[in-house]
Amino acid sequence: MTKKKINNGLDIADKNFEKLSIQVSLNGLSFCVADAVSQRILYSDKKVFSEELNPITVLKELKELVQKQDLANKAFDEVVVIHRNTLFALVPKPLFQVNELSNYLKFNTKVLPTDTLEYDEIKNQDMVNVYVPYTNINNYIYDLFGEFSFFHNGSILVQSLLNSYSKNKEDVCYVNVGKGQMDIMVSSGKNLKLYNSFLYETKEDFAYYLLFVLEQLELDTETVPVKLFGSISEDDELFQLCYTYVQNIAIFAPNATHHLELGEPGDESIDFTILNSL
């Protein structure tokens, strides 16, 4: 990915080499602070909402989280915001034109006249991710910290998985599981075959979207490796139901590309995209 607003205003003598990454969705919030020198997680927190909220209410929740952790009174050398939603479209870079952003999205989602559209370039994939960020969140973070970077979670997920697991020459299906949202990526080596994100309410919804993707790509449910990670375990109903239809399915623990040291047991539950944005 290439992006946007990085705060390089601090003199080297004033740097503390701490990075803050915040992920925002309508289903929850999470953040992580890491030391860039020691490559250690310093602290993290997350909040899962009982129901899907609107962006205005999410902002209120974020302000409470910032206050709880006293983040506004701390200095960070780099701040990253990750927007997780289904309001995106992947565009081949040769076909991409910056003045056509709304046209790329109009077939996938309803774009409002007031929406701000952004895009991430996905390195080594000749691809651009066009999406709708939460503008009110970006404005709030800018007011707190000044210039910062922001990405769509799909851009980080696709690039990180392809960079780390491109040696797998066979078709592999990865599923990043969150509350109410699942991100599905299918790749073969360094070739991305599909990336999409679905909102689900029941375990049957979850299984349907997974099986639908496998069917559309003509992948054999008895042989294709399906690797689930994120907020899921083998004891979950989601996993148990999918296991009845997909033979080669397993829980997956992907590596962070920067190999951050996960010091506390709770650190292992930090979202994959957050770790790979640090």
- Per-residue HEC secondary structure of the chain comes to CECCCCCCCCCHHHCCCEEEEEEEECCEEEEEEEECCCCEEEEEEEEECCCCCCHHHHHHHHHHHHHHHCHHHCCCCEEEEEECCCCEEEEEHHHCCHHHHHHHHCCCCCCCCCCCCEEEEECCCCEEEEECCCHHHHHHHHHHHCCCEEEEHHHHHHHHHHHHCCCCCCEEEEEEEECCEEEEEEEECCEEEEEEEEECCCHHHHHHHHHHHHHHCCCCCCCCCEEEEECCCCCCHHHHHHHCCCCCEEECCCCCCCCCECCCHHHHHCCHHHHCCC
Structure confidence at residue 97 (pLDDT): 96
What are the sequence ranges of the domains in the chain? 12-158+256-275, 166-251
Roughly what angle, to the nearest 10 degrees, separates helices 55-69 and 135-145?
30
Query: Is it true that 12-158+256-275 and 166-251 share their CATH fold?
Result: yes
- Contact between 173 and 269 (Cβ < 8 Å): no
- Report, as an integer, the average pLDDT of 251-257: 75
Of residues 251, 171, 238, the one with CA closest to residue 210 = 238
Structure confidence at residue 266 (pLDDT): 42
Is residue 262 over pLDDT 70? no
Token readout for 278 is 């640090």
Is residue 117 over pLDDT 80? yes
Is residue 76 over pLDDT 70? yes
Confidence of residue 14 (pLDDT cuts 50, 70, 90): low
Q: Can you tell me the distance from the alpha carbon of 101 to that of 220, in angstroms, rounded to the nearest whole number?
A: 35
Render pLDDT for 224-241 as a digit per residue (tens, 0 to 9).
Answer: 999 999 999 999 999 999
Tell me the whole-structure pTM to 2 decimals.
Answer: 0.90
Structure confidence at residue 265 (pLDDT): 38
Structure confidence at residue 112 (pLDDT): 84
- Report, as an integer, the average pLDDT of 160-185: 91
Region of poorest pLDDT, from 165-169, 184-188, 225-229: 165-169
Token readout for 214 is 């496998």
Bridge partner residues of 240 (DSSP):
none
Percent of the chain clearing pLDDT 70 (strictly above): 89
Task: Show contacts of 215-224: CB within 8 Å, 24+ apart.
Answer: 217/171, 217/186, 217/193, 219/171, 219/173, 219/186, 221/245, 221/246, 221/247, 222/247, 222/248, 223/247, 223/248, 224/171, 224/172, 224/173, 224/248
Is residue 103 over pLDDT 70? yes
Structure confidence at residue 267 (pLDDT): 43
Structure confidence at residue 256 (pLDDT): 58
* CATH class as words, domain 166-251: alpha beta
Is residue 264 over pLDDT 50? no
If one compares 268 and 163, the residue with the highest pLDDT of the two is: 163
Structure confidence at residue 8 (pLDDT): 46
Is residue 107 over pLDDT 60? yes
Q: Look up the CATH superfamily of 12-158+256-275.
A: Protein of unknown function DUF3822, N-terminal domain (3.30.420.250)
Render pLDDT for 24-55 as a digit per residue (tens, 0 to 9).
Answer: 999 999 999 999 888 888 989 999 999 999 99
Structure confidence at residue 1 (pLDDT): 47
If one compares 161 and 112, the residue with the highest pLDDT of the two is: 161
